[in-house]
Structure 1
């Protein structure tokens, strides 16, 4: 059992809710990285990757529902698992020529709420810096 003496634990104390949070964290870990990479690499399966990413994000938007955060009224485990990817949204959209906000407005609103927290905003990299780095990486790897 984890020891976390804090007023805002990342994982719920209820075993079912806890298992749900761990499930969604694992889901994001297994899906987002590979899907995002296939978008910025820009090969023949980019369209398929964009559709897959949008399905993942729509699924997460459905899981968010009308809650402020995946953790309810405060940031929780699933929020912490997903929010770093929001810094990559600009890169995905630019490389793939699509809009996440058009199909997932609630998720974008959630991301903005998360970034209002100083601890979150200070921890996330700037989306334009990620994109700039990625352009350099693609050039070095010959992926232009």
Structure 2
């Protein structure tokens, strides 16, 4: 997905699908949160907005911390009773869950993804990797 879209806007002509690409800069996390929140509101999915924004924020932050290059975010809501979210970056190494000690300031991002999502995983890409998660939609 990385590099697929040069724009940082929702593909409004495709219902239930949104894609953005961000430069690896600190403002990417805030921009991703805003776009995800606004898109879910447009789709009428307010019930999953907070958890989706939190998990996207964690994954984009991980990409910023470990990768250099564009960060991609995709969301799909038209594939049944779930929301699929993907975050891609050019680093080929898959993320590793680690056990954070109580005093650690980091290391809980993937734990949050695992606990809050219906399922999650990673897959290699031609120029990096994608970390994805799926949330059940109410209804």
| Alignment TM class, shorter chain as reference | under 0.3
Larger radius of gyration: 1
With the length of structure 2 as denominator, give the TM-score of the two structures. 0.27
More helix by share: 1
